[in-house]
Amino acid sequence: MLAIDHIVIASKNPEKDAKEFEEKYGIKYIPGGKHTNWGTFNYLAYFDNDCYIEWLGIFDEQLARNSDNPLVQKLVKQFSSGKSGVYSFALRTQNMNKELEYFTQHSIAYKGPLPGSRKKLDGSTLSWRMLFPDRANLPFLIEWGDGVNLPDDKSKINTQQLASVQLPYHPKLYTDTFALSNEGDIIQLENGKLLFTTDSELDFTLHETNQ
């Protein structure tokens, strides 16, 4: 089963925006690192159900503009149009090759898998692969080299859960693309839910762990 991996927030100033989120919601955040091939960098907030928020910014606009990564291309477009805020999210898979087979069998166009990596603060390298279905406004799939992306210091994991992602209707696009099952307006994932609404914007909900 797929899981919610992370929410991506386009941010001109990731540290400032992460701090404001910390003050508003009482969460802890940490610096992530630089994606040196893409010209981007991030700040992160981890949650109790093995997912996180990423505030993604650009430190080298030329690198970002020349990137072949669809997530970075979309980030550049967001900033060019004067937009910021939540603009994408990732679903985590433990078997990217199986997802590739499904896409191929069902004639779903895609880009990837694209390798990614960044240096962590302790000097080690974090690595992953991303798969982007070529269908508008869908999340991308991510597979981590170590299974799940967690902070080295487990005390930095917040007690809240990123319990659901709210999405513009319609769930059939998700069930067809990712081989998921829905019950009405809800798709249950490994660690949370996709909720389909009449709102036009992507959003998410945090819950206390005991809720």
| One-character DSSP codes across 169-189 | S-THHHHHHHT--EETTEEE-
The pTM of the full predicted model, rounded to 2 decimals, is: 0.94
* Beta strand extents in 101-153 (DSSP E only): 110-119, 125-133, 140-144
- pLDDT tens over the chain, length 211 residues: 899 999 999 999 999 999 999 999 999 999 998 999 999 999 999 999 999 999 999 999 999 999 999 999 999 999 999 999 999 999 999 999 999 999 999 999 999 999 988 877 777 788 999 999 998 789 999 999 887 888 988 999 999 999 999 998 789 999 999 999 999 999 999 999 999 998 888 999 999 876 4
Distance CA(168)–CA(50), nearest Å, equals: 24
Residue 210 is predicted with a pLDDT of 62
Residue 122 is predicted with a pLDDT of 76
Long-range contacts of 153-158 (CB under 8 A, 24+ apart): 153/30, 156/28, 156/30, 156/46, 157/46, 157/47, 157/48, 158/27, 158/28, 158/45, 158/46, 158/47, 158/48
